[in-house]
Amino acid sequence: MRFMVIVHANKDSEAGVMPSTELLTAMGKFNEEMVKAGVLQAGEGLHPTSKGVRITFTGSEPTVKQGPFDVTRDLIAGFWVLDVASRDEAIAWMKRAPFAAGDEIEIRQVFAAEDFGEALTPELREQEERLRAQAAQK
Amino acid sequence: MRFMMLMIPGGYETAAPGTVPDDVERVAAMMAYNKALMDAGVLITCDGLHPPSMGARVSFPSGKPVVTDGPFAESKEVLGGYWMIDVASRDEAIAWASRCPATPNEVIEIRQVQEMADYPEDVQAVASGFEDMQTTARRLPEAKSLRRA
C-alpha cells in the first residue's frame, strides 16, 4: 500500500525560512533509514505559496490567482510517498520523524487501480498502466 | 523546473471512508488529460488520495508524537491528488493546469518543487546525500515489483 505523508506549512516554511543544520542532519538520517528499509518512494519540499498560484474553474474560463494563500494550516510544505504493508506501519514510521514541537503531518492512502471499480474500464486501466510505465522511465 | 499541481476538491474534507471516483466519463476525461501530459513529455508522476476520513495525522505538540484519526474537523480544504510535472516555466505549468477538465468545486494549486540549487550553500553541504537518496528511492518500486514477480 502506498501512502502520501503531507507535511503541513507553518509561518516559517511560508516565510521561506530554511531548517537548521541540526534538523537537516536528523531528517537526512531519517530519510536514509526509510530508503534502507525500502519504504521511501519519493520526498520533496515545495517553495512557499507566495511563489505559487491557484486556478479556479468556476466560470467559463479558468481564473488564475497569485499566492500567498491564507489557509496556513491547510497548506502543504512538502511530502513523502511511502510503500508499506499497512496504515499502522506508515504511522509508526512517521512517529519517529524528527519534527519540532508544534509540527503536524497528515497520512493519506494513495488510490490504486483496483480501488476505482467499474469506473476504470479495462481500456482505461491499460492506458493508466502504460502511462505509469512511461513516466517511470523519465 | 519541477512543479506540483495540487488538486483541492471542495467538500473532500468531509467525504466518507471508501469514497472513490465513480463517474466513468469524468475518469475518462482525466485519463485523456493525463495522457496529454504524458505525450508532451511533461508528466513525472500523478496520484489520487483516499479521503482524509481514512487517514491519520501525527502532531508533535510537545515534541512527542500524537496520532489523531481522520476526518479532521478543523480542515477547510484538503488534498485530493496531485501531478508532478517538469516544464520550462511557471507560465507553462499554469497553462497545463488551465487545461485540466476540473469541475467548479475544484481548485488547482501550483507550487514549484525545491531543487538542491535553491538552497543556501551551508544547507546544500548538509543535505548533499539527498539527491542520491531520491534516485535510490525512485528505483525501489521497480526493484520491489521485480522481487514480487
Mean pLDDT (chain B) is 89
Cβ of B94 under 8 Å from any chain A Cβ?
yes
pLDDT at A135 over 80: no
Burial environment of residue A115 by CB neighbours within 10 A (0 to 12, 13 to 18, 19 or more): middle
- Residue B35 φ/ψ, nearest 5 degrees: -65, -40
Instruction: Please tell me the distance from the alpha carbon of residue B16 to that of residue B117, in angstroms, as a whole number.
Output: 42
Distance from CA of B41 to the nearest CA of A (A): 8
Instruction: Please tell me the distance from the alpha carbon of residue A6 to that of residue A57, in angstroms, as a whole number.
Output: 25
pLDDT at A136 over 70: yes
Q: Taking the model in full, what pTM does it have?
A: 0.90
What's the CATH superfamily of A2-112? Dimeric alpha+beta barrel (3.30.70.1060)
* ipTM of the complex model: 0.89
Decide: A35 and B133 in contact? Cβ < 8 Å.
yes
Best CA proximity match to A28, nearest among A103, A95, A106, A97: A97
Return the domain boundaries, chain A: 2-112
Yes or no, beta carbons of B55 and A107 under 8 Å apart: yes
Mean pLDDT (chain A) is 91
Helix axes B24-39, A122-137, angle to 10 degrees: 30
User: Taking CA atoms, what residue in B is nearest to A51?
Assistant: B111
Sign of CA dihedral B140, A8, B83, A123: positive
pLDDT at A138: 62
pLDDT at B56 over 50: yes
